[in-house]
């Protein structure tokens, strides 16, 4: 009668600090979801361990996995592939555990199509809310600078459309706390809890 786990997807604009937040989440002892390790064709950097930081693969291996549809999402950056192996994700979710992905926005779009019920969290740069102060206290910065920032903000707002939640990365500890709260809350959603009880009553008949 065990429920399937939740697929938690953390994404956001590049440079927002997704990796740092993800590492902070998994450095805490009470984190009870599983991190899905990405696969890449880039060479390991010093200190990086295969199966811990990434699964390191050759280009041929990676392309063969793409053709076998063994990747939940993938993308090419600066000549290297990055992707999420799908089997691990499906097996872990089936076992009732939550799976956590930290991926780029393009990847998140691919995952949304395959897992519409996933929990999609957008990590937003603090510049977005700092913009508010800048707008209010105009004069300290040039109109051009403010206008550029507003254009950027508009693009980020557009990106958010795919997501269920937006977490501002103002302070890492706060971002971590919010992400963990979102996961706890999501497990308490009525449809989810009620569904479990209904299955339980069916089983008891």
Binding residues for its own copies, rule: CB under 8 A, are 1, 121-122, 124, 128-129, 131-132, 135, 146, 150, 153-154, 157, 160-161, 163-168, 177-178, 180-182, 184-186, 188-190, 193-194, 197-198, 200-201, 203-204
Q: How far apart are CA 42 and CA 59, in angstroms?
A: 9
Scan for tokens 């089936």, then name that residue: 94
Sign of CA dihedral 143, 149, 150, 155: positive
The distance of closest approach from Cβ of residue 6 to its own copies in the complex, given in angstroms and rounded to an integer, is 13
According to the annotation, is 16 in a ligand binding site?
A: yes
Pick between residue 75 and residue 160 the one whose CB is nearest to its own copies.
160
Pick between residue 71 and residue 121 the one whose CB is nearest to its own copies.
121
According to the annotation, is 21 in a ligand binding site?
A: no
According to the annotation, is 64 in a ligand binding site?
A: no
According to the annotation, is 195 in a ligand binding site?
A: no
Pick between residue 66 and residue 181 the one whose CB is nearest to its own copies.
181
**DSSP character string of 74-109:** EEEETTEEEEEEHHHHHHHHHTT-EEEEE--HHHHH
Query: Under the phi-then-psi rule, with left for phi > 0, alpha for psi from -120 to 50, and beta for the rest, what region is 173?
Result: alpha
Please give the structure tokens belonging to residue 68: 């076998």
Pick between residue 52 and residue 136 the one whose CB is nearest to its own copies.
136
| Binding-site residues | 12-19
């Amino acid at each position: 009668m065990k429920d399937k786990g939740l697929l938690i997807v953390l994404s956001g604009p590049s440079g927002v600090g997704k990796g740092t937040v993800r590492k902070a989440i998994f450095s805490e002892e009470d984190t009870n979801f599983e991190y899905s390790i990405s696969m890449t064709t880039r060479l390991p950097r010093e200190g990086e361990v295969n199966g811990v930081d990434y699964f390191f693969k050759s280009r041929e291996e990676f392309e063969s996995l793409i053709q076998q549809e063994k990747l939940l999402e993938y993308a090419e950056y600066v000549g290297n592939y990055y992707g999420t192996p799908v089997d691990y994700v499906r097996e872990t979710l089936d076992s009732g555990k939550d799976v956590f992905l930290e991926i780029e926005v393009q990847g998140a779009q691919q995952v949304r199509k395959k897992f519409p019920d996933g929990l999609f969290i957008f990590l937003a740069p603090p510049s977005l809310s700092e913009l508010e102060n800048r707008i209010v206290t105009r004069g300290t910065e040039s109109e051009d600078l403010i206008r550029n920032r507003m254009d950027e903000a508009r693009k980020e707002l557009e990106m958010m459309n795919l997501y269920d939640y937006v977490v501002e990365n103002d302070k890492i500890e706060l971002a971590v706390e919010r992400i963990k709260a979102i996961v706890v809350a999501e497990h308490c959603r009525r449809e989810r809890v009620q569904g479990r009880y209904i299955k339980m009553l069916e089983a008891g008949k």
